[in-house]
């Protein structure tokens, strides 16, 4: 379905955050017969819905919203509306067409798009792809889940998008290059289960992409792909890391050394994999990676990590605070913890409780010495899952600022305080940016106390 197909039809936009605002604005411009906005969970975190936006799409809240959705020809839901929402079941039962702004946009732009998803690494990998393309004279527009809603993007010859599992769910067109970085259980409450999550995530590659690029070293992703044709980064027949001319690790394109691993300023083995995927995407787009290796090496060296992904924050105390608020699962937290395996470490965990199994985190920390501080809502349950580990000290507090204050007391000078929540931000925070902002404010507040 294209945006132009909404002309003359009754449309309801479900959700009033950034994606809902973008959708309402875009749909209004295409002349629907009627348009309204529905917010079934309006609270103190809701963004204002007023001015021209409210005139174009009057806002309906509460239970009345369901009637307006059922009366629409097309419902454009925001990514934050889960598949498991009871209203979704009723819409499906009544045969109402449900789509998203992402799907509407992709219908018109798929052939000019690199789309990146994954249970971990999608933000960094998509950022790397955009950054490296710019360095080799391939201008592009970057957007998606990481910041700008697709319907707000300007026209361009090439797009690089970071796409969440929610955004992938309703796609009916795959991008020209479809990229998957990793696969493990995530967002199960919103998708309905592990199988449903994998199905929705891999919907990105289900609609005739030109090329599929994946992290070939991810075992669960490999199992889900089976024999499907794909460029499997991390293996010797494509981009991978192996000993270079000096015996140190280098990035390679097949047998050809490109540049040293040391050129990449990001910590962790998982980030090596992210760059291997990014380089494989450039080759899929026709970039002569070998010939441009010097330009690429310089661009890699100049790449800075994302604001909310293992972003280090210096502190006068001698501690290093690390904002990894995008780590919303135990598997993502495991990767972050491993990145600081050689330093004293305190980890702050907890957020929206989606009922995830934290046994993998417990198993991974069985021989690790560190401190874990749990914050609401899921923090106490994570701490309980770690009970009895001989080298893991656990504490719980009621607020993020209390966790930061306690971490200052418990972490040795030279150590790391890592916010890697293993849970999403919604409930107590508007979004991950809000949680990150609160973390930085807590660091500043406790430094002065």
Contact 115, 179 (CB under 8 A): yes
**Does 78 appear as a known binding residue?**
no
**Does 201 appear as a known binding residue?**
no
**Does 123 appear as a known binding residue?**
yes
**Does 124 appear as a known binding residue?**
yes
**Does 119 appear as a known binding residue?**
yes
Convert the chain into a string of H (helix), E (strand) and C (coil): CCHHHHCCCEEEEECCCHHHHHHHHHHHCCCCCEEEEEECCCCCCCCCCCHHHHHHCCEEECCHHHHHHHHCCEEEECCCCCCCCHHHHHHHHHCCEEEEHHHHHHHHHHHHEEEEECCCCHHHHHHHHHHHHHHCCCCCEEEECCCCCHHHCCCCCCEEEECCHHHHHCCCCCCCEEEECCCCCCCHHHHCCHHHHHHHHHHHHCCCCCEEEEECCCHHHHHHHCCCCCEEECCCCCEEEEECCCCCEEEEECCEEEEEHHHCCCCCHHHHHHHHHHHHHHHHCCCCCCCCHHHHHHHHHCCCCCCCCCEEEECCCCCEEEECCCCCCHHHHHHHHHHCCCCCEEEEECCCCCCCCCHHHHHHCCCCCEEEEECCCCHHHHHHHCCCCCCEEEEECCCHHHHHHHHHHHCCCCCEEEECCCCCCECCECCHHHHHHHHHHHHHHHHCC
**Does 391 appear as a known binding residue?**
no
**Does 31 appear as a known binding residue?**
no
Binding site residues, as ranges? 118-124
Known binding residues for ATP are 118-124
């Amino acid at each position: 379905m294209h945006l132009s197909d909404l002309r003359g039809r009754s449309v309801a936009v479900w959700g009033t955050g950034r994606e809902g605002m973008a959708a309402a604005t875009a749909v209004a411009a295409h002349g629907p017969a009627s348009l309204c906005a529905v917010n079934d969970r309006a609270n103190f975190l809701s963004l204002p819905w007023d001015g021209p936006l409210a005139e174009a799409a009057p806002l309906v809240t509460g239970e009345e919203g369901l009637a307006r959705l059922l009366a629409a020809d097309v419902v454009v839901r925001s990514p934050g509306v889960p598949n498991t929402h009871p209203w979704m079941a009723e819409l499906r039962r009544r045969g109402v067409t449900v789509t998203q702004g992402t799907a509407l946009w992709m219908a018109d732009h798929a052939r000019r798009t690199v789309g990146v998803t994954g249970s971990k690494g999608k933000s960094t990998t998509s950022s790397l792809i955009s950054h490296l393309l710019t360095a080799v004279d391939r201008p592009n527009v970057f957007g998606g889940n990481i910041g700008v809603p697709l319907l707000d993007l300007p026209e361009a010859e090439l797009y690089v998008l970071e796409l969440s599992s929610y955004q992938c769910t309703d796609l009916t067109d795959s991008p020209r290059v479809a990229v998957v970085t990793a696969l493990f259980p995530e967002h199960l409450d919103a998708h309905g289960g592990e199988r449903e999550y994998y199905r929705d995530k891999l919907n990105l590659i289900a609609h005739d992409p030109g090329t599929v690029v994946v992290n070939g070293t991810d075992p669960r992703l490999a199992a889900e792909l089976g024999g499907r044709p794909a460029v499997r980064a991390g293996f010797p027949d494509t981009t991978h890391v192996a000993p270079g001319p000096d015996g140190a690790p280098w990035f390679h394109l097949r047998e050809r050394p490109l540049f040293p691993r040391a050129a990449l300023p990001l910590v962790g083995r998982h980030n090596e994999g992210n760059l291997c995927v990014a380089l494989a995407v450039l080759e899929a787009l026709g970039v002569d990676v070998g010939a441009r290796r010097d330009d690429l090496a310089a661009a890699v060296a100049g790449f800075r990590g994302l604001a909310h992904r293992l972003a280090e924050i210096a502190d006068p105390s001698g501690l290093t605070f690390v904002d990894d608020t995008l780590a919303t699962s135990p598997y993502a937290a495991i990767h972050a913890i491993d990145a600081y395996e050689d330093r004293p470490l305190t980890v702050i965990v907890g957020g929206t409780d989606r009922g995830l199994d934290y046994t993998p985190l417990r198993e991974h920390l069985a021989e690790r010495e560190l401190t874990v501080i749990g914050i609401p809502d899921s923090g106490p349950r994570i701490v309980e899952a770690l009970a009895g580990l001989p080298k893991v000290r656990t504490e719980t507090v009621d607020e993020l600022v209390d966790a930061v204050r306690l971490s200052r007391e418990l972490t040795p000078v030279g150590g790391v305080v890592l916010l890697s929540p293993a849970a999403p931000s919604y409930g107590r925070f508007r979004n991950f940016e809000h949680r990150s902002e609160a973390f930085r404010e807590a660091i500043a507040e406790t430094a002065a106390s």
